[in-house]
Amino acid sequence: MSAPSYRELTVNGLWKNNPALVQLLGLCPLLGVSNSTVNALGLGLATMLVLTCSNISVSLVRGVVNTAVRLPAFVMIIAALTTCIELLMQAFTYELYQILGIFIPLITTNCVILGRADGFAAKHNPLVAGFDGLVMGLGFCLVLVVLGGLRELFGTGALFANMHLLFGPVASDWQLTLFSDYKGFLLAILPPGAFIVLGLLIALKNRIDERLAERARATQPAAPAVNRRVRVTGVIE
Ranges of H-type helices in 33-172: 37-61, 70-92, 94-100, 111-119, 126-156, 164-167
Q: Return all residues near 70 (Cβ < 8 A) that are at least 6 apart.
A: 118, 122
What gap in Å lies between CA 17 and CA 52, rounded to an integer?
17
Contact 84, 19 (CB under 8 A): no
pLDDT one digit per residue (tens) for the chain, 237 residues: 577 899 999 999 999 999 999 998 888 888 889 999 999 999 999 999 999 999 999 999 998 988 889 999 999 999 999 999 999 999 999 999 999 989 999 999 898 999 999 999 999 999 999 999 999 999 999 999 999 999 999 999 999 999 999 999 999 999 999 888 888 898 999 989 999 999 999 999 999 999 999 998 888 776 666 566 655 555 545
Domain ranges for the chain, please list them: 6-219
pLDDT of 104:
94
Nearest to 27 by CA among 206, 230, 211, 198: 198
